[in-house]
Structures are given as structure tokens and as C-alpha cells.
Amino acid sequence: DTGVSQNPRHKITKRGQNVTFRCDPISEHNRLYWYRQTLGQGPEFLTYFQNEAQLEKSRLLSDRFSAERPKGSFSTLEIQRTEQGDSAMYLCASSLGLAGNQQTQYFGPGTRLLVL
């Protein structure tokens, strides 16, 4: 399977704990995106990487959230001191990233986080 993969698929944690999610994009894709989706809503943009550089961050990404893509391949999203409001589906997407070309984003299956 050469699609976008995410781990874990589900995470239950207690308020105040730290969690980390991983995303493996499609191998030749340079761009990687993180989104958050709450119940009854569409995905909301969190942050974007071009290779290893984090080029854009949403106002939704508070200072408790940090994302990395150290070698320009997989990415991690860490949430520190989780709050109940962080409960959501966290989606990762990737795209080719070639200038001037259509940039369809392909999504992974998501990590569903529940903060108790």
C-alpha cells in the first residue's frame, strides 16, 4: 500500500498527558499537511511542510502543539498537556509539491484522539 499512513489509529489519554502522532506520506510527495477534524465539521488546516521546512501554521496550532518533519519524509505531531477540547480526528495529507502543477492532497486514515 503506497498511500498515506498514520499511527496510531486511535488514542485515548488522560487530560494533561502528552501524545504524539506519526504520519508517513506517499513516498515521492514533498508537501505534508496536518488537519484537525471535529465531529460534524470538515477538516481544518493546522500546519504545512515543504520537505523538512514548516512553512505555515494556523492560529489553531497553540503553543502546546508542535510538528516536525526532520528528514523531509515522515512527520510527527505532538500535543503537550492535552485538554478535553483537543479530542478530534487528526488527519495528515500529502501532495507532490511540484511548482505550477495541480496539488491534490491525499489523506491518511487519521488518528482519533479522545482526551478524558
Which parts of this chain interact with other proteins (CB under 8 A)? 4, 6, 31, 33, 40-45, 48, 50, 55-56, 91, 93, 102-110, 112
Instruction: Give yes or no for a contact between 86 and 67, defined as CB atoms under 8 angstroms apart.
Output: no
Nearer to other proteins, 20 or 37 (CB): 37
**Helix, strand, coil percent content, the chain, rounded in steps of 5:** 5, 50, 50
CA 48 to chain centre: 9
Nearer to other proteins, 58 or 80 (CB): 58
Beta carbon of residue 103, minimum distance to other proteins (angstroms, whole number): 5
Beta carbon of residue 102, minimum distance to other proteins (angstroms, whole number): 6
Nearer to other proteins, 74 or 106 (CB): 106
CA–CA gap between residue 58 and residue 35 (Å, rounded): 10
Beta partners for residue 48, in sequence order: 33, 56
